[in-house]
């Protein structure tokens, strides 16, 4: 596939920079200010159906699975429906209990990933209701699901996903708001989330305008053989996706841990040669996250924080604009896409086509 690179050196760089427009597209025509909710035309789930949902199970692979983890948290927070995400392949092979009151959601950029498609088919065979959260219109998963949301990220060429991930998470935000407003999410909270969603494109543009600083930081950390990514609750899937992105394009080993689990093992790895990237939002867990930074500093670990204000314990902080707590994960991963990109660039990697990887895996 080839289309205009628009002056960018790689599709990854181009697609990272398309995110403000992509998010704008995901929101367009969907917000309903009158009832402080959203309209999702293809969802095929009326208010009665939505209220009957007792659990949500999200299935995807790779980056889409990580988007699903953030989505599950948004659904729990805004709609108060128990929700979780699982890799589609694991789900398929563990003979899962398929429950008629559970809403299943298959997440996929391509809509063709075999493990996700096979999970959808197995669920349908057992009579489950399955929605798709898909980028490619008319793809196999979009066709086989009962309804869903197109994420409208536009074509994504780089093997590693950036703008599509962001649009998936935004789409989960829309779905969580929609489900929430059929239940106990108040008009005031609906308005608050809508205002937050509307701010996203501008805030993304602000983060991307800071690219020069992130390029410099990538130079500081490109010598690492291995990196630790930590976050807590909302920040944990952000850390997981950022560590995956770095691995995929730079081939630097990285692992992600909940910050709270550091003391149960990975703290043994901390030393100056093992830098940590920490997700530190200004939310109710700020003090807990700061305590983790202190533990790392006490072991002479280098720290790069992604935060809403400069973190004293960190060697460097990338400051991102604050949104509503529930929507912060959408923004906090974006500078780390750039960090992965610039690290890989400094190392001369084949950024758009990393070794051993394919854009979509349509076989077992």
Catalog residues that contact ligand G6P under the rule CB under 6 A: 61-64, 108-110, 113, 116, 159-161, 357-361
Q: Are 42 and 149 in contact (CB under 8 A)?
A: yes
Question: What separation, in Å, do the N-terminal and C-terminal C-alpha atoms of the chain show?
Answer: 23
- Angle 25-81-66 (CA atoms, 0-180°, nearest 5)? 50
Cβ of residue 288: shortest distance to ligand G6P, in angstroms? 30
Report the C-alpha gap between 76 and 251 in whole angstroms: 34
Tell me the C-alpha distance between 329 and 133, whole Å. Answer: 18
Minimal distance, residue 305 CB to ligand G6P, in Å:
26
Between 64 and 323, CB nearer to ligand G6P: 64
Angle between helices 334-346 and 235-250 (to 10 degrees): 20
Closest CB 15 distance from ligand G6P, rounded Å: 12
- Select the residue whose beta carbon is closest to ligand G6P and give its number: 62
**To the nearest whole angstrom, how small is the minimum distance from the Cβ of residue 39 to ligand G6P?**
25
Token couple for 24: 């704008």
Phi, psi (rounded to 5 degrees) for 7: 85, -5
Identify which of residues 157 and 361 has a Cβ nearer to ligand G6P in the complex.
361
Q: Which is nearer to ligand G6P, 161 or 167 (CB)?
A: 161
* Nearest partner of 173 among 298, 31, 314, 333, judged by Cα: 31
Active-site option among 199, 288, 353, 359:
359
The pairing of strands 83-87 and 102-108 is unpaired
- Nearest approach, Cβ of 358 to ligand G6P (angstroms)? 6
359 is catalytic: yes
What is the closest distance, in whole angstroms, from the C-beta atom of residue 247 to ligand G6P in the complex?
Answer: 11
Work out how close the CB of 232 gets to ligand G6P at its nearest, in angstroms, rounded to a whole number: 24
Of residues 162 and 343, the one with the C-beta less far from ligand G6P: 162
**Which residues have C-beta within 8 Å of that of residue 223, sequence separation ≥ 6?**
none
In the complex with ligand G6P, which residue's Cβ is closer, 157 or 267?
A: 157
**102-108/129-134 β-pairing:** parallel
Token pair for 21: 């427009």
DSSP letter assigned to residue 98: P
- Looking at the Cβ atoms of 118 and 361, the one nearer to ligand G6P is 361
Alpha-carbon distance of 314 to 278, in angstroms, equals 9
Cα gap 248→239, rounded to integer Å: 14
Using the minimum distance from each CB to ligand G6P, give the nearer residue, 209 or 363. 363
CB-based contacts of 263-271 (< 8 A; 24+ apart in sequence): 263/295, 266/228, 267/295, 267/296, 267/299, 269/226, 269/228, 270/228, 270/296, 270/299, 270/300, 270/301, 271/299, 271/300, 271/301
Annotated catalytic residues are: 359
């Amino acid at each position: 596939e080839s289309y205009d690179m628009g002056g960018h050196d790689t599709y990854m760089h181009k697609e990272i920079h398309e995110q403000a427009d992509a998010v704008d597209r995901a929101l367009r025509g969907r917000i309903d200010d009158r009832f402080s909710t959203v309209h999702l035309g293809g969802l095929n789930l009326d208010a009665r159906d939505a209220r009957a949902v007792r659990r949500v199970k999200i299935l995807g692979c790779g980056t889409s699975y990580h988007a699903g983890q953030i989505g599950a948290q948004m659904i729990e927070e805004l709609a108060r429906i128990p929700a979780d995400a699982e890799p589609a392949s694991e789900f398929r092979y563990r003979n899962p209990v398929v429950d008629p009151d559970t809403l299943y959601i298959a997440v996929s950029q391509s809509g063709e990933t075999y493990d996700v498609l096979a999970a959808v088919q197995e669920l349908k065979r057992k009579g489950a209701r399955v929605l798709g959260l898909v980028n490619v219109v008319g793809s196999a998963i979009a066709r086989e699901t009962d309804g869903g949301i197109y994420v409208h990220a536009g074509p994504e060429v780089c093997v590693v996903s950036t703008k599509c991930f962001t649009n998936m998470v935004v789409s989960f935000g829309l779905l969580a708001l929609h489900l929430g407003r059929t239940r106990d999410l108040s008009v005031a909270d609906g308005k608050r989330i809508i205002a937050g969603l509307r701010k996203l494109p501008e805030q993304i543009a602000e983060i991307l305008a800071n690219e020069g600083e992130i390029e410099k930081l990538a130079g500081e950390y490109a010598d690492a053989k291995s990196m630790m990514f930590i976050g807590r609750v909302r920040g944990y899937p952000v850390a997981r996706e950022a560590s995956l992105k770095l691995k995929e394009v730079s081939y630097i080993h990285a692992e992600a841990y909940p910050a709270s689990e550091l003391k149960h093992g990975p703290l043994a790895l901390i030393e100056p040669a093992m830098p940590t990237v920490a997700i530190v939002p200004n939310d109710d867990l700020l003090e807990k996250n700061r305590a983790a930074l202190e533990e790392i500093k006490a072991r002479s670990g280098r720290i790069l924080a992604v935060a809403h204000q400069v973190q004293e314990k960190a060697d460097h902080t990338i400051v991102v604009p604050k949104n509503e707590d529930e929507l912060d994960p959408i923004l906090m991963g974006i500078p780390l896409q750039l960090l992965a990109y610039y690290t890989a660039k400094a190392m001369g990697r084949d950024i758009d086509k990393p070794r051993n990887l394919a854009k979509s895996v349509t076989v077992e």
